[in-house]
């Protein structure tokens, strides 16, 4: 756009807007965030992580093109204010507020199409930052003679080549990215609340295979602001597609080299990738390589397993003995509604990928699928409400609370219509960090000392070692865990002769939530023939239950009363603590172990909707769930033969 048409646009915009700015806005300048470095306040770091910091690493706002077009009006600033516990007006005009604020958030608007929506707004800001332009706009606001005078002045300025620079500067458009960064800088308060600088790299493969990744930076404005996010329109690796995750890894490599900063990526919705997320091939179908394995595990320490579009810890067909993964499964289509082919689910679920990773390590030299567990909502209305079933604002603005949202068509898939009730109000990440700062939280994410929750803030300690004893359970468990073992996300080196891994576990219920049903340890391993296996151990449980003859622990019971709906903490336990030794350990077999903590049954968001809107839902709509937290694994690596 040349400068004349720019002037035209600006003047036209002024005329259109009737220049109705209030006098308080006179003399606006660009926000200073990013340019004025505030002195870093001293934040106390604990020696070991002492606290879990809860947040959502996956939030879209109206600045994501799809969110905006679906009617979202709240931008990144509203998303952060909401996460901090402020009341906001939702896109559909409802009051929205979290029951409990988060400790941190990552707003991850799509890089593809980012900013196309608010270019005009940004340009306008620059325009308004210029005193002359601002004065003209004020004069035009008054209309009549004043407006004519403004036009006259503009003509004269044009003729004498003295137009304000803002009209002629080709870089007048401040991108959405820079604005996002500035907002995060304003709301990031080390020690109190962390606002990560982040974006989503949104690859839909070749025709809808979900390969999305959230990119989260450790750094602030000084390193992130000048580099706009990578889009899938840009191929970083010559000869490979822009939608190939290797393009992202190359970009991350270059970015770190250029800025000295650090970044990581968290994939999500493997369940909608139609077999591509954990495929045992590169994007172009060629075999995996050692470099691929290294790059993938280097950049992607975590996978988001819980979110609004389904739960992907494990699939009931792949883990038929696991009675806790039968609900919340989205296994009908990819992101574009294309039906799955047989076998696709083998490469879409975290547990299966973790197992396959163990086997691939022999072929590739390292494990490409060595990741921990994260949760996130993927909200597209700026309201991260996955943690609160009774306060669920849905995924898009169109899914905000209403009497009919449960039966609205969420998506047309080849296999049929997906309805609103199938959305899962889930997705939160707990981070064991030494303080609430970008650096400390990011470092914890990177070392996988983090875990996924479907919503409740269940505290889970999980350590592995060879020397733990019962005394460690009774004493300072965390201290024993760190000094004699490794926390979640860590590696156990080869076992001393005759020893087996021992796990130190403690779990406490959400202080505002439901009691706990049980703690399980889930083991995956690969045998000498290269075959993978899994086994679920019930380790700690409530109410003095006795496992049945089949070895299965009976269900904890159900106190949910759908009138209300309510539940009572008359069953379950407030806390669990204990140790567990792998009873079937073979020192030569590579393995992973993670803990899963299950809550007693509680009402699902649909049950709250039934009560709130006095609607009757189809009998197939689930009304009760068992929420859970799933830790990142610990990996056991046998000695080299």
40-99 residues near other proteins, rule: CB under 8 A: 51, 62, 68-69, 71, 73, 77, 81, 93
Smallest separation (angstroms) from other proteins to the CB of 220 = 15
Pattern 407-426, other proteins, x by CB under 8 A = --------------------
Tell me which stretch binds other proteins (CB under 8 A): 112-120, 276-284, 359-367, 633-641: 112-120
Q: Is 611 near other proteins (CB under 8 A)? A: no
Task: Kindly tell me the sign of the dihedral angle through the C-alpha atoms of 174, 176, 179, 181.
Answer: negative
Is residue 131 a contact point for other proteins (CB under 8 A)? no
**Residue 63 CB, nearest approach to other proteins (Å):** 10
- Residue 626 phi/psi, 5-degree rounding, is -115, 105
- Within 136-175, the residues that bind other proteins by CB under 8 A are 148, 151-152, 154-155, 158-159, 170
520 binding other proteins? (CB under 8 A): no
Site for other proteins in 443-482 (CB under 8 A): 459, 461, 474, 477
Beta bridge partners of 524: 534, 592
Interacting span for other proteins (CB under 8 A) from 231-239, 300-308, 350-358, 367-375 = 231-239
| Among the listed residues 143, 527, 575, 612, the single contact to other proteins using CB under 8 A | 575
Query: In DSSP terms, which residues pair with 200 in a beta bridge?
Result: 110, 214
Task: Please state, in angstroms and rounded to a whole number, the distance separating the CA atoms of residues 18 and 24.
Answer: 17
Cβ atoms of 521 and 593 within 8 Å: the answer is yes
- # residues near other proteins by CB under 8 A: 72
- Decide if 9 contacts 1 (C-beta within 8 A): yes
Residues in the chain: 641
We find the least distance from the C-beta atom of residue 93 to other proteins, in angstroms, to be: 6
Is residue 277 within the footprint of other proteins (CB under 8 A)? Answer: no
Q: Please list the residues that pair with 412 across neighbouring strands.
A: 417
- Pick the binder of other proteins from 94, 120, 403, 409 (CB under 8 A): 120
Q: What is the DSSP string of 569-593?
A: TTSSBSEEEEEEE-TT--TTS-EEE
For other proteins, the closer of residues 130 and 300 by Cβ is 130
Task: State in angstroms the smallest separation of the CB of 348 from other proteins.
Answer: 30
SS3 content of the chain, % helix, strand, coil (to 5): 30, 20, 50
Please, which of residues 187-226 interact with other proteins by CB under 8 A? 187, 189
Going by the DSSP 8-state scheme, the letter that residue 110 receives in this structure is B
Chosen residue from 184, 314, 573, 579 binding other proteins by CB under 8 A: 573
Residue 578 lies near other proteins (rule: CB under 8 A):
no
- Please enumerate, as own/partner, the contacts of 186-192 that have beta carbons within 8 Å and a separation of 24 or more: 186/31, 186/33, 187/77, 187/80, 187/81, 187/84, 188/220, 188/438, 190/40, 190/41, 190/43, 190/435, 190/436, 190/437, 190/438, 191/41, 191/43, 191/44, 191/435, 191/436, 191/437, 192/436
Can residue 34 be called a binding residue for other proteins (CB under 8 A)? no
Pick out residues in 289-348 that bind other proteins (CB under 8 A). Answer: none
């Amino acid at each position: 756009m040349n400068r004349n048409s720019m002037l035209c646009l600006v003047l036209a915009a002024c005329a259109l807007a009737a220049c109705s700015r209030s006098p308080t806005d006179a003399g606006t300048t660009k926000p200073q965030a990013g340019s004025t470095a505030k002195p870093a306040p001293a934040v106390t770091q604990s020696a070991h992580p002492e606290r879990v910091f809860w947040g959502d690493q996956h939030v879209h706002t109206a600045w994501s093109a799809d969110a905006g077009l679906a009617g979202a009006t709240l931008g990144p600033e509203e998303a952060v204010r909401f996460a901090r516990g402020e009341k906001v007006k939702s896109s559909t005009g409802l009051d929205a507020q979290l029951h409990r604020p988060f400790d941190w958030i990552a707003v991850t608007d799509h890089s593809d199409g980012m900013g196309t929506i608010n270019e005009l707004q940004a340009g306008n800001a620059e325009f308004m930052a210029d005193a002359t332009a601002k004065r003209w706009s004020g004069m035009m606001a008054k209309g009549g003679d004043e407006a004519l005078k403004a036009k006259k002045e503009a003509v004269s300025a044009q003729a004498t080549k003295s137009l304000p620079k803002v009209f002629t500067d080709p870089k007048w458009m401040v991108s959405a990215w820079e604005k996002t960064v500035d907002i995060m800088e304003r709301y990031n308060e080390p020690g109190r609340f962390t606002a990560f600088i982040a974006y989503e790299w949104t690859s839909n493969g070749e025709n809808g295979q979900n390969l999305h990744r959230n990119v989260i930076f450790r750094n602030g404005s000084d390193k992130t602001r000048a580099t706009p996010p990578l889009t899938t329109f840009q191929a970083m690796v010559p000869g490979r597609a822009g939608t190939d995750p290797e393009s992202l890894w190359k970009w991350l490599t270059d970015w770190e080299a250029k800025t000295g900063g650090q970044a990581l990526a968290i994939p999500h919705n493997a369940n909608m990738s139609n077999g591509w997320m954990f495929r045992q091939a590169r994007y172009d179908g060629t075999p995996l390589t050692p470099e691929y394995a290294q790059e993938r595990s280097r950049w992607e320490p975590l996978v988001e397993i819980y979110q609004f579009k389904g739960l992907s810890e494990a699939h009931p067909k792949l883990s038929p003995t696991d009675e806790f993964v039968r609900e919340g499964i989205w296994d009908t289509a990819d992101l574009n509604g294309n039906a799955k082919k047989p076998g696709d689910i083998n490469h879409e679920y975290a547990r299966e990928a973790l197992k396959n990773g163990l086997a691939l390590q022999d072929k590739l030299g390292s494990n490409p699928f060595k990741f921990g567990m994260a949760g996130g909502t993927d909200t597209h209305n700026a309201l991260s409400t996955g943690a609160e079933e009774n306060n669920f604002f849905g995924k898009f603005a169109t899914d905000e609370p209403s009497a009919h949202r449960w039966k609205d068509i969420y998506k047309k898939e080849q296999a049929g219509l997906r309805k609103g009730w199938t959305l899962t109000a889930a997705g939160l990440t707990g981070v064991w960090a030494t303080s609430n700062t970008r650096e400390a939280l990011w470092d914890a994410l990177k070392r996988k000392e983090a875990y996924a929750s479907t919503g409740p803030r269940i505290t889970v300690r999980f350590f592995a070692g060879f020397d733990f004893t019962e005394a460690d359970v009774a004493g300072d468990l965390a201290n024993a865990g760190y000094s004699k073992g490794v926390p979640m996300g860590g590696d156990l080196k080869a076992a001393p002769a005759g020893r087996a891994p021992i796990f130190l576990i403690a779990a406490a219920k959400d202080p505002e939530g439901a009691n706990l049903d049980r703690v399980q340890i889930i083991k995956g391993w690969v045998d000498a023939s290269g075959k993978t296996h899994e086994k679920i151990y019930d380790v700690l449980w409530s109410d003095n239950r006795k496992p049945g003859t089949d070895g299965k622990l009976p269900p904890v019971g159900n106190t949910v009363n759908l009138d209300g709906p309510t539940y009572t903490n008359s069953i379950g336990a407030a806390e669990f603590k204990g140790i567990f030794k792998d009873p079937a350990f073979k020192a030569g077999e590579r393995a992973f172990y993670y803990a899963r903590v299950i809550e007693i049954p509680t009402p699902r968001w649909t049950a709250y909707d039934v009560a709130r809107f006095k609607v009757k839902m189809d009998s197939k709509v689930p009304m009760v769930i068992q929420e859970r937290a799933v830790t990142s694994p610990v990996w056991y690596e046998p000695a080299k033969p």
